[in-house]
Amino acid sequence: MALQPISELESALSHLPGFGRRSAARAALALVREPLRLLVPLAAALENARANVVACSRCGAFTVRGRDPCDTCTDPARDGRVVCVVEEPADIVSVEASGAFRGRYHALGGKLAPSRRSGPEKLRIDSLLERVESEDFEEVLLALSTDMEGDATALYLAELLRPLGVKVTRIAFGLPADSGIAYSDPLTLKRAINGRRDV
């Protein structure tokens, strides 16, 4: 029978992405087994993140307290003519890791999902429209997920953005790297074919 503090630790860890019940239990036991090497530094890092990581007031990306707007928003070397719209701040990290985009960002804070009561009022859409008007973007690149909710969000945003005189684009969809056609689902394959370009 697990002790209450260990059970609470397991429960907290199980809410993290990638942690199931068993992996959370293993992690909790490892933490309490080696408190000086694992538990104490983790607790300090968690407290530091809680106290110092905030959302950029302009783009919604993660930044540290005292650096708002964030470094990406204030970097003069970035292309101020295009803004990449993503669902979550973590998506900005992924796009940056690709090295393929050097413009500005805007995190919506989710996507339209009526089943979860996530409508336009819950997202950072108004601030996006204000930025498009005030920052003179020429292009808005929608880098949203390819599920039904991501598609609905992209269509909704396109309808709002086009009257502002800005070019609205969406990232291309296709086959993942090192993947074969035989392993692709029909929708991914259709999008890959429709999004083909010259070689």
Domain count, the chain: 1
- Residue 85 domain-assigned? yes
pLDDT tens digits along 113-148: 877 777 889 999 999 999 999 998 999 999 998 888
- Residue 31 domain-assigned? no
What is the Cα–Cα distance from 90 to 60, expressed in whole angstroms?
A: 10
Chain centroid, CA 158 distance in Å: 19
Q: What are phi and psi of 34, to 5 degrees?
A: -130, 70
Using the predicted structure, report yes or no on whether residue 36 has a pLDDT greater than 90: yes
- Residue 172 domain-assigned? yes
- Residue 44 domain-assigned? no
The CATH number of the domain holding residue 143 is: 3.40.1360.10
What is the Cα–Cα distance from 138 to 88, expressed in whole angstroms?
A: 22
- In this predicted structure, what is the pLDDT of residue 87? 96
pLDDT tens digits along 47-81: 999 999 999 999 999 999 999 999 999 999 999 99
pLDDT tens digits along 82-108: 999 999 999 999 999 988 999 999 999
Domain residues for the domain of 138 are 78-199
- Residue 57 domain-assigned? no
- Residue 58 domain-assigned? no
